Amino acid sequence: MSNTLIVGPAETGLSSPDEGRASRRPRRRRKPAGKIALQCLAGAVVALVFLFPYVIMFIGSLKGRFDVLAVPPTFFPKAWHPDNYIKMWSASQTPLLANLTSTLVIATGATLLMLVACIPAAYYTARFRFFGRGAFLFLVVVTQMLQPTLLATGLFQEFGALGLIDTWLAMILINAAFNLTFAIWILHSFFASVPREINEAAQIDGAGNWTSLVRVNLPLVWPGIVTAVIYTFVASVSEFSASLVILTTDTNQTLPVALSKFVGQYDAAWQYLFGVSIVAIVPSVLLFMAIEKYLAGGLTAGSVK
């Protein structure tokens, strides 16, 4: 009979084997409190620099007409006017609620159309070698130099021939087309960074190109998709020149065009202009807050369980 002595967790002084393994793990070093404080201070300063113009704009939207035009200018008003956010909806000759609806519909439609077009194009150019690939990517870059301001006359004639003047569809197509270049290039870089071995392993398991794109590659390129979505949405909300030419009726015009109507030949309603500008940036802020978690999750996503 063997005299082997079996030592249990109680004899070793450990409550369980897992505790022994945990005790051998290297402990993470904590950052010094002073370094953390400096990083927080630097972050606060940077945030203040970027947020300060919006703070000034928000305070200006709560001023009265004479406080905005006061000489010398004052940072805080003598009397606060939160009712400006109620009066501005009827203070202009343009229907702001309809303009806001038009802006959101056009920006959302352009963003969705951009995703439908750019994801397959970016994936195919990053994963496959085909004749004319370099020329295609070069043309994509060249189109970035063409902006709606330069092509306003041509766009008006083209959509006039198609019977799409003063329609949301025309602006959706324009915004999606002019933001497609950036989206293709950013997603092309993300798809190219995904190791080819991952696609080969998926193909061995029987996945086709479409399945590999949707179920394997897309979860790994979420940061690029989020970047393209935010860029396209913000650019579509801010677009002015094409909207001014293509959209001719007050109800179909976007907020950037409506903003210009608060500025007259001899006077400007700056308090309402600031208020509408605050309202115009709210959808972009809400969009970023909604998809920011996917941006952070995509940065830490992996393909190995």
Asked if residue 2 is part of any domain, the answer here is: no
Range of the domain at 53: 29-89
Q: Which tokens is 277 given? A: 């500008």
Contact 250, 98 (CB under 8 A): yes
Asked if residue 192 is part of any domain, the answer here is: yes
Type of residue numbered 283: P
pLDDT of residue 291: 79
295 and 256: one domain? yes
Q: Residue 162: CB partners within 8 Å, gap ≥ 6?
A: 170
pLDDT of residue 178: 87
pLDDT in tens, 220-273: 888 888 888 988 999 999 888 888 889 988 888 898 888 888 776 666 788 888
**99: number of Cβ within 10 Å:** 26
Give the mean pLDDT per block of 10 residues along the chain (305 residues): 49 51 58 80 89 89 81 81 84 80 94 92 82 77 73 85 91 91 86 81 76 80 87 90 88 87 73 86 85 62 44
Return the percent helix, strand and coil in the chain, to nearest 5. Answer: 70, 0, 30
Domain boundary among 89, 116, 132: 89
pLDDT of residue 28: 62
217 and 235: one domain? yes
203 and 71: one domain? no
